């Protein structure tokens, strides 16, 4: 059995664990929980036809971003979209020796494990990853997910004097929390911005009252 088949078997074992095990995570504390904050860059927004170009992720635990324990990968390009390339800057030949989609997913899933996923507008990243998993014979992710766009709204005052937006972008959060946008629109850069924003959100929520991990999902 080659190394990639061994990884795939191990990953399938992780993903095959029961929902009960994942749900038991929510009985733990926020500080003791391992979060993986991630972002993907893709050729576009079509879940069926577009492809992931890169995945960036950082682990977060005990209120700290573990920079040494981070994940960044660029994937061989099957598609090229000049319009989106102007945003993320990933060109067809800009990174050499990129793994194919299957290899990239195996590495990412090993890094992710059973951690709780945090992202901004999570539905896009998770759907793109799940479509890639399905193409390569993996089950979809069972990890619990948190969306910083949703969590941020919980920090806002409820008042007729305060106009709330329906949608808050990652730029909105970066501006609000004075986070540098130097590496904006790169997978790792956006994952790092999201991780800082997530910590700032937790701090604000805790200023109101003590919160549990389970309450973050309500």
Give residues with Cβ within 8 angstroms of 70, minimum separation 6.
Answer: 56, 57, 58, 59, 188, 191
Question: Tell me, what's the pLDDT at 88?
Answer: 44
What are the mean pLDDT values of the chain's consecutive 10-residue runs (218 residues total)?
A: 54 52 80 97 91 95 94 81 48 65 97 97 97 97 97 87 87 96 90 97 92 93
Please state, in angstroms and rounded to a whole number, the distance separating the CA atoms of residues 119 and 163. Answer: 24
140 Rama class: left (phi>0) / alpha (psi -120 to 50) / beta: beta
Q: Roughly what angle, to the nearest 10 degrees, separates helices 122-135 and 101-112? A: 120
Q: What's the pLDDT at 6?
A: 54
Residues 6+ apart with CB under 8 A from 214: 26, 27
The predicted model scores a pTM of 0.83
Which pLDDT value is given to residue 142? 95
């Amino acid at each position: 059995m080659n190394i990639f088949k061994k990884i795939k078997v191990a990953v399938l074992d992780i993903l095959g664990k029961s929902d009960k095990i994942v749900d038991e995570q929510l009985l733990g504390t926020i500080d003791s929980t391992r979060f993986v904050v991630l972002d993907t860059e893709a050729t576009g927004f079509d879940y069926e036809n577009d492809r992931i170009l890169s995945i960036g992720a950082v682990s977060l635990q005990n209120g700290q971003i573990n920079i040494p324990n981070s994940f960044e990968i660029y994937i061989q390009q099957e598609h090229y979209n000049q319009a989106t390339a102007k945003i993320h800057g990933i060109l067809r030949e800009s990174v050499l020796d990129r793994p194919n989609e299957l290899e990239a997913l195996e590495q990412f899933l090993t890094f992710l494990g059973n951690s709780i996923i945090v992202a901004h507008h999570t539905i896009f990243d998770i759907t793109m990853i799940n479509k890639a998993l399905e193409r390569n014979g993996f089950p979809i992710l069972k990890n619990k997910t948190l969306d910083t766009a949703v969590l941020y709204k919980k920090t806002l005052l409820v008042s007729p004097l305060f106009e709330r937006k329906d949608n808050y972008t990652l730029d909105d959060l970066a501006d609000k929390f004075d986070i540098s946008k130097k590496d904006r629109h790169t997978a790792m850069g956006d994952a790092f911005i999201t991780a800082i924003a997530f910590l700032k959100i937790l701090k604000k929520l805790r200023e109101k009252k003590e919160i549990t991990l389970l309450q973050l999902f309500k």
